[in-house]
C-alpha cells in the first residue's frame, strides 16, 4: 500500500541538482525507468541495443548489473584497450577466413559465464570446484583482460575423471595461425560442453559496452575502419550465435551488445539484415520523456510511493507558471510552454532533460535561495550553461567522426545572425574563412560537411509556411525525430537550437528573436499542410 507523498519534507532542488548525467554514477535502483521495450531486453529476446550516446544504454547496463542476485548474474565487458597491435597478425586473410575472431568473442562470453557459475551456490559442488582454479583474482572489465587469459592459459578444468580439455594450451608462440585458431576453437567447444552439462536455470547476462573506444581516431571514420569492422562484426555474430545455441535448449546465457547507432550502421555483413529481428533501437518520444521525468521526480521525493502523473510531478519541481514569456526586440512578446522550450534544446534523449533540469535546480539554489521551485525565468537563464555543455558533449561524441567539430561550428559565428541559412551562404563563409587563413581546409566538400552535420542533427532542414491567421510557421526536419530523413541543400537549413545558442552566446540580444513559438519539429505535421502556401 502506497503512502501519501509529502514534497515539503524533502529538498527537491538539492536532490535534482545532484542528479547524475553519467548513469554509471547514478543510483539505478532508485532512478531507472523501465521504458516500453525494457522487458524485451531483460527476457533475452534482444542481442543488440542500438542508440545514440545519451539515450540510456549505460543506464540499462548499470540497472541489469544491479539486479545481480541468487538467480541472475551480470557483468559488463568494455572494448577499451583492445590490443590491436598485438593482435594485428590475426588480421590476415587466412585467420579471418577461419572465423577465429568470432571464436575469440565466444571464448570471452563463456569465460564470463563460467566465472559466474563458479559463484553460483545452486550448482553442484564438483562443478564449482572444477571452476575454482579459473576464477580471476580481479574482475575482468575489459576485453583485453580476457584476451590475455586465452592467449596465456588453457581451459583444462576437469570434473571427476572427465577432463574437459587435456593438455590444451594457447600461447603467443610460433604456432601457425591456423593452429592457434584451431586450438582456440577446441577450448571453446570444451567450455560449451561444460556449460551445457552443469548450468542451472539462472540468467547469465554478458553486457558489451564501450565499442567506440577503439574506433580508428582519424579525420574520417572510414580511414582504418576495415580492420575494426572485422573485429566488431565478429562480436555481433558471436553474440547472436551464442544466444541461439543456448536458447534452443532453454538455457539463459544472454550476451547483449550495446552499440552506437552510427557504428552499427557502418558495420557490414552478408547476414546483417537478419540482425534486425534481434535489435532494439533505443529512441524516445516526448510522451516517453514525460513518463521518465515523472518517474524520476517522484523517486527524488520518495522511493516508496506510487509514481505521480507528469503534471503533479512537474508541479513539485516547477512553480505554477507553465509558460515562458519572451520579449522580442521589436516590443512584442510571445509565450511558450516550459517543457516545449526545453524540448527544442534537446535531442529527445533522457540525458538532455536530466542535464537541463539539473542546471535549473543548481541555478535556483545559487541565485534564488528563497525559492523552493524552478521558475520560468530560471529555465531561460540556464540555457546558456546547458547549451555550452550540450555542444561539448556533442564534440566528444563526434570526436571519432569529425575531430574538428568545434572549429567547424565557429564558422557559423561568421555568418549573419539569422536563424536560417542557405547552402550558398555556408559555402561563401567556408571559402572566405579558409581563404583568409582563419581556419585550415577541412578536406571535405561543403555538401559532405553539411550532410555529416545533418546525420548527427547538428543542423536540419526547415520549411516555412504561411498559415491562416498566423504570420508563418516553421517545420524543422532533424534526424533525431526522423531517422530516415536526408538533407536537402536546396532548402533553408537551421542549426539545432542548443547549438545555435552555444555558437552565438556572445550575441545575447539575438535570442529574443528565436521565436520558438513558431517552430515545430517535423515529427507529426498537420495532415492538411499541403493546403497552405510554402513561402521558403
Could you tell me if 247 and 44 are in contact, meaning their C-beta atoms sit under 8 angstroms apart?
yes
Specify whether the CB–CB gap between 140 and 208 falls below 8 A: no
pLDDT of residue 146: 53
Residue 383 has pLDDT above 60, yes or no: yes
Per residue in 254-297, pLDDT (tens digit) is: 999 999 999 898 888 888 888 999 999 999 999 999 999 999 99
| pLDDT tens-digit map of 393-416 | 999 999 878 899 999 999 998 887
Q: What is the dihedral of CA 258, 260, 266, 269, to 10 degrees?
A: 10
Full DSSP string of 264-308: HHH---TTHHHHGGGEEE----HHHHHHHHHHHHHHHH-TTSPPP
The separation between CA 144 and the C-alpha centre of its own chain, rounded to angstroms, equals: 23
Q: pLDDT tens digit string along 141-160?
A: 545 555 555 444 444 444 43
Query: pLDDT at position 527, please?
Result: 41
Residue 268: per-residue pLDDT = 83
**φ, ψ dihedrals at 441, nearest 5°:** -60, 140
pLDDT, residue 150, reads 46
Q: How far is the C-alpha of 31 from the C-alpha of 59, rounded, in Å?
A: 9
pLDDT at residue 367, rounded to an integer: 84
The answer for 348, left when phi > 0, alpha when psi is -120 to 50, beta otherwise, is left
Angle formed at CA 434 by CA 433 and CA 439, multiple of 5 degrees: 85
Closest CA to 289 of 361, 337, 346, 359: 346
Q: What is the mean pLDDT of residues 203-207?
A: 97
Lowest mean pLDDT among 6-20, 59-73, 78-92, 480-494: 78-92
What are the helix (H) ranges across 120-176? 125-132, 143-152
Q: What is the mean pLDDT of residues 334-341?
A: 92
What is the band of 216 on the pLDDT scale with cuts at 50, 70, 90? low
| Range of weakest confidence among 81-85, 267-271, 285-289, 345-349 | 81-85
pLDDT band at 8 (very low <50, low <70, confident <90, very high): low
Residue with the larger pLDDT of the pair 428 and 89: 428
63: enclosing H helix or E strand:
helix 57-66
By CB neighbour count within 10 A (0-12 exposed, 13-18 middle, 19+ buried), where does 282 fall?
A: buried
Alpha carbons 188 and 180: distance in angstroms, whole number: 12
Q: pLDDT tens-digit profile of 93-132?
A: 555 554 767 888 898 899 899 999 999 999 999 888 888 7
Reply yes or no on whether the pLDDT at 319 is more than 70.
yes
**Interior angle at CA 406, CA 404 and CA 410, nearest 5:** 115
Q: What is the DSSP letter of 224?
A: T
- Check residues 225 and 318 and name the one with the higher pLDDT: 318
pLDDT (tens digit, 9 = 90+) per residue, 63-79? 999 999 989 999 998 87
Joined grid coordinates for residue 526? 498537420
187-196, 221-230, 468-477, range with greatest mean pLDDT: 187-196
Is 80 exceeded by the pLDDT of residue 224? no
What is the chain's mean pLDDT, rounded?
82
Stated as kind and residue range, the H or E segment containing 72 is strand 72-78
Instruction: Classify residue 344 by burial, with Cβ atoms within 10 Å: 0-12, 13-18, 19+.
Output: middle
For β-strands 519-521 and 473-477, DSSP reports them as: parallel
Residues 104 and 307: their CA atoms lie apart, in Å, by: 45
CA distance readout (Å), 370 to 150, 365, 366:
61, 8, 10
| Phi-psi category of residue 257: left, alpha or beta, with phi > 0 → left and psi -120 to 50 → alpha | beta
Give the range among 270-284, 308-322, 502-516 with minimum mean pLDDT: 502-516
Averaged over 509-523, what is the pLDDT?
Answer: 51
Exposed / middle / buried, residue 21 (Cβ in 10 Å: 0-12, 13-18, 19+): middle
CA distance 406 to 404: 6
Amino acid at each position: 500500500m502506497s503512502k501519501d507523498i509529502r514534497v515539503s519534507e524533502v529538498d527537491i532542488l538539492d536532490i535534482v541538482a545532484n542528479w547524475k548525467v553519467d548513469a554509471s554514477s547514478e543510483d539505478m535502483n532508485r532512478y531507472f525507468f523501465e521504458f516500453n521495450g525494457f522487458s524485451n531486453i531483460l527476457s533475452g529476446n534482444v542481442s543488440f541495443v542500438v542508440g545514440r550516446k545519451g539515450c540510456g544504454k549505460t543506464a540499462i547496463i548499470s540497472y541489469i548489473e544491479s539486479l545481480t542476485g541468487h538467480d541472475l548474474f551480470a557483468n559488463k565487458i568494455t572494448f577499451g584497450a583492445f590490443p590491436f597491435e598485438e593482435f594485428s597478425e590475426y588480421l590476415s586473410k587466412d585467420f579471418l577466413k577461419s572465423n577465429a575472431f568470432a571464436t575469440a568473442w565466444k571464448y570471452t562470453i563463456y569465460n564470463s559465464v563460467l566465472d559466474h557459475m563458479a559463484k553460483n551456490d545452486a550448482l553442484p559442488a564438483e562443478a564449482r570446484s572444477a571452476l575454482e582454479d579459473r576464477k580471476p583474482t580481479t574482475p575482468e572489465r575489459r576485453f583485453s583482460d580476457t584476451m590475455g587469459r586465452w592467449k596465456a592459459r588453457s581451459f583444462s578444468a576437469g570434473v571427476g575423471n572427465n577432463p574437459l580439455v587435456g593438455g590444451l594450451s594457447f600461447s603467443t608462440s610460433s604456432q601457425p595461425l591456423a593452429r592457434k585458431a584451431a586450438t582456440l576453437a577446441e577450448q571453446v567447444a570444451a567450455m560449451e560442453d561444460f556449460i551445457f552439462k552443469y548450468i542451472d536455470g539462472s540468467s547469465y547476462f554478458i553486457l558489451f559496452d564501450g565499442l567506440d573506444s577503439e574506433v580508428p581516431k582519424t579525420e574520417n571514420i572510414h580511414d582504418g575502419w576495415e580492420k575494426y569492422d572485422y573485429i566488431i562484426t565478429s562480436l555481433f555474430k558471436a553474440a547472436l550465435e551464442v544466444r541461439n545455441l543456448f536458447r534452443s535448449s532453454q538455457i539463459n546465457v544472454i550476451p547483449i551488445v550495446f552499440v552506437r547507432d552510427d557504428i552499427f550502421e557502418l558495420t557490414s555483413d552478408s547476414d546483417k539484415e537478419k540482425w534486425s529481428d534481434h535489435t532494439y533501437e533505443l529512441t524516445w518520444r516526448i510522451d516517453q520523456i514525460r513518463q521518465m521525468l515523472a518517474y524520476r521526480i517522484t523517486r527524488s521525493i520518495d522511493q516508496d510511493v506510487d509514481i505521480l502523473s507528469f503534471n503533479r510531478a512537474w508541479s513539485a519541481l516547477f512553480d505554477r507558471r507553465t509558460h515562458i514569456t519572451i520579449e522580442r526586440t521589436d516590443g512584442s512578446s510571445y509565450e511558450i510552454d516550459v517543457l516545449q522550450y526545453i524540448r527544442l534544446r534537446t535531442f529527445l534523449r533522457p540525458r538532455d532533460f536530466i542535464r537541463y533540469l539539473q542546471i535549473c535546480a543548481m541555478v535556483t539554489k545559487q541565485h534564488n535561495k528563497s525559492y523552493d521551485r524552478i521558475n520560468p525565468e530560471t529555465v531561460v537563464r540556464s540555457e546558456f550553461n546547458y547549451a555550452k555543455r550540450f555542444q561539448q558533449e556533442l564534440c566528444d561524441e563526434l570526436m571519432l567522426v569529425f575531430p574538428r567539430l568545434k572549429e567547424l561550428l565557429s564558422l557559423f559565428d561568421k555568418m549573419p545572425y539569422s536563424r536560417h541559412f542557405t547552402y550558398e551562404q555556408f559555402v561563401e563563409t567556408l571559402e572566405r574563412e579558409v581563404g583568409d587563413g582563419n581556419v585550415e581546409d577541412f578536406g571535405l566538400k561543403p555538401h559532405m560537411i553539411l550532410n555529416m552535420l545533418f546525420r548527427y542533427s547538428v543542423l536540419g532542414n526547415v520549411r516555412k509556411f504561411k498559415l491562416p491567421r498566423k504570420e508563418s510557421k516553421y517545420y524543422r526536419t532533424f534526424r533525431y525525430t526522423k531517422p530516415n530523413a536526408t538533407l536537402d541543400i536546396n532548402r533553408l537549413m537551421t542549426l539545432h537550437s542548443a547549438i545555435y545558442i552555444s555558437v552565438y552566446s556572445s550575441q545575447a540580444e539575438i535570442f529574443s528573436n528565436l521565436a520558438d513559438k513558431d517552430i515545430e519539429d517535423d515529427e507529426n505535421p498537420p495532415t492538411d499542410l499541403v493546403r497552405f502556401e510554402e513561402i521558403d
